[in-house]
């Protein structure tokens, strides 16, 4: 069953809950409409616009665009070769699916009257232009998926009710100050796959946002941006060109519990850099150019998963992962990956992994020059 139909069933059969940021364990976020549950993720403030149980009862409106499927306030018009947003959409629609079409522009009145819309899916079209008032009628919109289009800028005047924005795989090079102004409910932004450089973020671009989740992967970052929301629990910067982590790069992000830096060019992590992440639980540093295990891991008492595979690590010390003494670490490791490193694993002392739950949690070997 596709993720879209799972969301449809949730809208039709159960009372929708206030948004709660979920976990993304696989670090390869796709275009699905559902997030995985993570009991550690922090919820967001209750926002207006979530359909209640009464609003999800079947309707008998005869309005349905030609070729589309309309049922239980869900209008599905995907894969129809549409060049414009269709007319005759019922005003009580809560989910509008327009993905995989040929829409190139969103006009001022395209969504007129859709004041109950909760989710709008525009993935994989050819959208390059959006009228500044195109989203104005969508006063209860919480989820906007507009990835895989031709946008060169973040749409202006996004609905203040918005909680989740996926705008990855576009052509955005700049994030100006004020573009997210008034979005106090925004919790999750996925903006990877855009040609964003560090200089593309204007100072204060994220002012006012209280994000839980941010992903800027597959971009052109050469360092960790220093002006992102300090509320972040998850930050994913994988598949960039980051070369080093300097002492104060992570100073602002003390609430992180998941950090993704895999598939970069990191050679050096300055001593003390990780000390600013006291709540970190999962760290991805795989597919980089590290020559040793980063210093400071034993001091991260909640750290449970460390990916260090596919680096240039040649030695693993007895105190690289675990603190000295017993009872110091509050959560034992359940995953350490070191495979595809030139480590003579037969020389690693068994006590090196004294704070690991199980031997199967350690991955070694398979190194190829």
| Token pair recorded at residue 54 | 């009464």
pLDDT at 328: 72
Q: Report the distance separating Cα 204 and Cα 114, nearest Å.
A: 32
* Among 315, 320, 310, residue whose Cα is nearest residue 366: 310
Task: Tell me which of 3.10.580.10, 1.10.3720.10, 3.80.10.10, 3.30.930.10 is the CATH number of domain 62-171.
Answer: 3.80.10.10
pLDDT at 229: 96
User: What residue has token string 């909680």?
Assistant: 163
- Based on its alpha-carbon atoms, the radius of gyration of the chain, rounded to whole angstroms, reads 23
8 Å CB contact between 248 and 271: no
| Token pair recorded at residue 120 | 């709008």
DSSP state of 310: S
Q: Report the distance separating Cα 82 and Cα 89, nearest Å.
A: 14
8 Å CB contact between 320 and 352: yes
pLDDT at 34: 38
pLDDT at 2: 53
37-87 per-position pLDDT tens digit: 343 333 334 343 444 434 444 444 568 999 999 999 999 999 999 999 999
- For 76-87, the DSSP string reads E--SS--SS--S
Q: Report the distance separating Cα 65 and Cα 358, nearest Å.
A: 56
**Cβ-Cβ contacts under 8 Å for 5 (sequence gap 6 or more):** none
Q: Report the distance separating Cα 127 and Cα 108, nearest Å.
A: 14
Task: Tell me what the pLDDT averaged over the chain comes to.
Answer: 85
| Token pair recorded at residue 52 | 């209640």
Q: Which residues of the chain, if any, have pLDDT below 50? A: 6, 9, 11-60
């Amino acid at each position: 069953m596709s993720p879209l139909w799972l969301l449809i069933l949730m809208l039709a059969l159960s009372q929708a809950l206030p948004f709660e940021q979920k976990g993304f364990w696989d670090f390869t976020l796709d275009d699905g409409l559902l997030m995985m549950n993570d009991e550690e993720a922090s919820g967001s403030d209750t926002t207006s616009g979530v359909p209640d149980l009464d609003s999800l009862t079947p309707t008998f409106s005869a309005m349905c665009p030609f070729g589309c499927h309309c049922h239980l306030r869900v209008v599905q018009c995907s894969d129809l070769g549409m060049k414009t947003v269709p007319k005759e959409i019922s005003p009580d629609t809560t989910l509008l699916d327009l993905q995989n079409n040929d829409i190139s522009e969103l006009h001022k009145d395209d969504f007129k009257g859709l004041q109950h819309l909760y989710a709008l899916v525009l993935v994989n079209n050819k959208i390059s232009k959006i009228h500044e008032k195109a989203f104005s009628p969508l006063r209860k919109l919480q989820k906007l998926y507009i990835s895989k289009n031709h946008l060169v800028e973040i749409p202006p005047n996004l609905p203040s009710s918005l909680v989740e924005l996926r705008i990855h795989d576009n052509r955005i090079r700049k994030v100006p100050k004020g573009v997210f102004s008034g979005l106090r409910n925004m919790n999750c932004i996925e903006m990877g796959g855009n040609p964003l450089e560090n200089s593309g973020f204007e100072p204060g671009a994220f002012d006012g946002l209280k994000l839980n989740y941010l992903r800027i992967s597959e971009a052109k970052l050469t360092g960790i941006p220093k002006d992102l929301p300090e509320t972040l629990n998850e930050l994913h910067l994988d598949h960039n060109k980051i070369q080093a982590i300097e002492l104060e790069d992570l100073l602002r992000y003390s609430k992180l519990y998941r950090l993704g830096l895999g598939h970069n060019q990191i050679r050096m992590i300055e001593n003390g850099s990780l000390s600013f992440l006291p709540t970190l639980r999962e760290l991805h540093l795989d597919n980089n150019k590290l020559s040793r295990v980063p210093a400071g891991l034993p001091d991260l008492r909640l750290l449970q998963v460390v990916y260090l595979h596919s680096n240039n690590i040649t030695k693993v010390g007895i105190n690289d992962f675990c603190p000295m003494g017993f009872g110091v670490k509050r959560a034992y490791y359940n995953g350490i990956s070191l495979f595809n490193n030139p480590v003579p694993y037969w020389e690693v002392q068994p006590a090196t992994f004294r704070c690991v739950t199980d031997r199967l949690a350690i991955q070694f070997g398979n190194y190829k020059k």
